Amino acid sequence: MRQAALRGVSALALAFCLTVDASAGGATPMRIVSANLCADRLVIDLVPRERILSVSPFAADPGLSPSSDRAVGLPVNRGDAEEILELRPDLVVTGAFASRGAAALLRRAGVAVHEIPVTADLAAARAAIRDLARRLDAVARGEAMIAALDARLDALPRPLVSVRAVSLHAGGWVAGAGSLADAVFSRLGIVNAAASRIGFVQMDVETLLSHAPELFAVERHGGPAASRAAEAMTHPALARGAARRVEIPARDWACADAGLGQAAALIAGAAR
Amino acid sequence: MTGSVLTRIAAGAVALALAVSMSVGTTRLAPWDVLSEDAQLRALAATVLWEVRAPRTLLAAMTGASLALSGAVLQGLFRNPLADPGIIGVSATAALGAVLAFHFSVATPIAGGLAGGFVGALLLAALAGRGAGTLTLVLAGVAISSLAVALTSLALNLAPSPFAAYEIMFWLLGAVADRSWREVTTTLPFVVIGWAMLLATGRGLAALTLGEDVARSMGLAQGRLRGLAIAGTACCVGASVAASGGIGFVGLVVPHLLRPLVGHDPRRLLPFSAAGGAVLLLTADIAVRLVPAAQELKLGVATALVGAPVFLWQVLRLRGIR
């Protein structure tokens, strides 16, 4: 009984391997599953809707994705290996933060998985978009996306006098050197007041103020949902003194894609 | 030691703890920087001291005093050395109430904390009714506590905010980091009302130390005493937990440490316990700021390091008596 069941499972796995191998050899993927918000945003912008089998539950949330309108009605997956295998995709696009276990299981079952890396600067962001576009056989659209982002960043005004800014995120996390926010600041000619720290660091209000920021770029999460993490950004001490404040919708900071252009535009406007 | 000397020592200890708490922070800013020549440093120091350290310091003192005072009252009321708002589950139900109110935007966290505190205290009084043994009280508390913690975790997982699920640590272990005057002003009235009710139990608890029958013959209204103790605990613990999360062991440790110094008379023990609780929690909060961890330690970690050994020692002592 048990052996029969095992044999059944391995036969099933083998069947998956065969179907996947037949289509994975560099051909244009036609059955794409996106298992992560940032993957959703890029995939939806890069390929026609018919080629997308399923997206993450966040893809259709206008508070999280600028392309949410085009995700409405697409089937949704929660990112676990079992339900993705059942869809028989020829490519699964996921992010480095998404379930590692699921990606490994999918690979072992012979499914092609493309992982979008975490990017800490604009060059890496461009490279990640280019890689994915090549894998999706959508090179021209990928290049257009990159060119549009660069053109938008180039067109933004630079502050006339030096401005020290911090990028403040839910829970008191601050973007130090080696983060996308730091890259956007330096592209705009703005000084990152937290540049002495590496990556994202959690700062209490006292430490944050001691970095003497003149501009707070505060990530804003849509909706009425209350959390202590969101409350951390409304401490009255942050409103004291002459520091300015600009709110950046969370969706503009969430991923290394066209959203960065929107975040940069808001920051550039506030830093003038 | 005479009363006036002890009072002076207690007042001095509270004042010292308050002063150190204002002087110590996560940056090297000191109180005298508000007099600095450098205008920028002066402004920064003023903001940090007044908007960041002062509310944190007051909240730690208020919370510590509330927990220790209610611990002393509950130990007297249940005549049980292990009674403490954390152990008997009032802190956990208060945290549950605050989580439900806050994360689902139903009411203010304070209102939720008060409601949760009352539910927990009443539930306990019903479960471990009059004359309940130590074991019954502690087991009922463990049951209420575990259920409330599980429901808090469930509520945080179901809460609409994606960040809520990560906030369980705060509700279980407590913190006063980056609290502001908003929390102080909303908490203070309820804490003061709770203190007044709890301090009013001193005479009744003193009579109760002679045994229930003697106390009754002395004309003690036990119903009123229980009512004051439960409502007072719910008020000040509920409001404190809503502002600073559930901090364990303060109510257990402080009265035990103070009894050898001030004696067993609740009329004396209660005010000294409040002062001792404030000092203990201020000290814990100073310690968590000085420990060089990437993320600040939660207050409950520091109090458990002191409190758990005292709890074990009490358990062993109780076993020795039997």
Q: Please state, in angstroms and rounded to a whole number, the distance separating the CA atoms of residues B207 and B220.
A: 7
Asked if the Cβ–Cβ distance from A172 to B178 is below 8 Å, we say yes
Q: Find which of A19-28, A57-66, A218-227 is predicted with most confidence, using mean pLDDT.
A: A57-66
Per-residue pLDDT tens digits for B36-46: 899 889 989 99
- Does ipTM top 0.90? no
- Does A205 have pLDDT greater than 80? yes
- Contact by Cβ (8 Å): B200, B69: no
Closest partner residue to B178 among A225, A226, A232, by Cβ?
A232
Q: Please state, in angstroms and rounded to a whole number, the distance separating the CA atoms of residues A160 and A143.
A: 32
- Residue B223 has a pLDDT of 84
User: Is the Cβ of A124 closer than 8 Å to some Cβ of chain B?
Assistant: no
Q: Look at residues B190, B186, B179 and name the one whose alpha carbon lies nearest to residue B55.
A: B179
CATH code linked to domain A2-116: 3.40.50.1980
Chain A residues in contact with B41 (beta carbon < 8 A): none
Residue B36 φ then ψ, to 5°: -65, 155
- Contact by Cβ (8 Å): B77, B84: no
Per residue, what are the HEC states of B236-302? HHHHHHHHHCCCCCHHHHHHHHHHHHHCCCHHHHHHHHHHHHHHHHHHHHHHHHHCCCCCCCCHHHH
Q: What is the mean pLDDT of chain A?
A: 87
- Residue A224 has a pLDDT of 62
Q: Look at residues B84, B89, B98 and name the one whose alpha carbon lies nearest to residue B240.
A: B98
Count of CB atoms within 10 A of residue B192's CB?
Answer: 15
Token pair belonging to A110: 């012979």
Q: Look at residues B288, B304, B194 and name the one whose alpha carbon lies nearest to residue B247.
A: B304
User: Is the Cβ of A228 closer than 8 Å to some Cβ of chain B?
Assistant: yes
Burial of A10 (0-12, 13-18, 19+ CB in 10 A): exposed
Chain A residues in contact with B170 (beta carbon < 8 A): 228
Per-residue pLDDT tens digits for A116-162: 998 989 999 999 999 999 999 999 999 999 999 999 999 999 998 98
DSSP A49: G
- Residue B131 has a pLDDT of 61
Q: Please state, in angstroms and rounded to a whole number, the distance separating the CA atoms of residues B126 and B306.
A: 31
153-182 in chain A: CB under 8 A from chain B: 170-172
- CATH fold for domain B3-321: ABC transporter involved in vitamin B12 uptake, BtuC (1.10.3470)
Q: Give the closest-approach CA distance of A220 to chain B in angstroms.
A: 12
Asked if the Cβ–Cβ distance from B166 to A171 is below 8 Å, we say yes
Question: CB pairs below 8 Å between A and B: how many?
Answer: 89
Q: Please state, in angstroms and rounded to a whole number, the distance separating the CA atoms of residues A82 and B263.
A: 66
- Contact by Cβ (8 Å): A272, A244: no
Question: Where in chain A do CATH 3.40.50.1980 domains reside?
Answer: 2-116, 158-271
Closest partner residue to B26 among A207, A223, A226, by Cβ?
A207
- Segments of chain B with pLDDT less than 50: none
DSSP A137: T
- Residue A96 has a pLDDT of 76
Task: Determine the length of chain A.
Answer: 272
By C-alpha distance, the chain B residue nearest A207 is B27
DSSP B51: I
- Contact by Cβ (8 Å): B168, B150: no
Q: What is the mean pLDDT of chain B?
A: 90
Chain B residues in contact with A235 (beta carbon < 8 A): 51-52, 178, 180
Enumerate residues 6+ apart whose C-beta is below 8 A from B131: B212
- Residue B129 has a pLDDT of 66
With H, G, I as helix, E, B as strand and everything else as coil, classify residue A140.
helix
pLDDT confidence tier of residue A21, bands split at 50, 70 and 90: very low
CA dihedral B70, B76, B77, B79 (to 10 degrees): 130
- Residue A234 has a pLDDT of 86
Token pair belonging to B311: 């709890």
Reported as half-sphere exposure (CB side, CA atoms, 13 A), residue B115 has a value of 14
Give me the residue spans of the domains in chain B.
Answer: 3-321
- Residue B130 has a pLDDT of 61
For residues A25-43, average pLDDT:
89
Q: Give the closest-approach CA distance of B108 to chain A in angstroms.
A: 11
User: Is the Cβ of A239 closer than 8 Å to some Cβ of chain B?
Assistant: no
| CATH value of A158-271 in 3.40.50.1820, 3.40.50.920, 3.40.50.1980, 3.40.630.10 | 3.40.50.1980
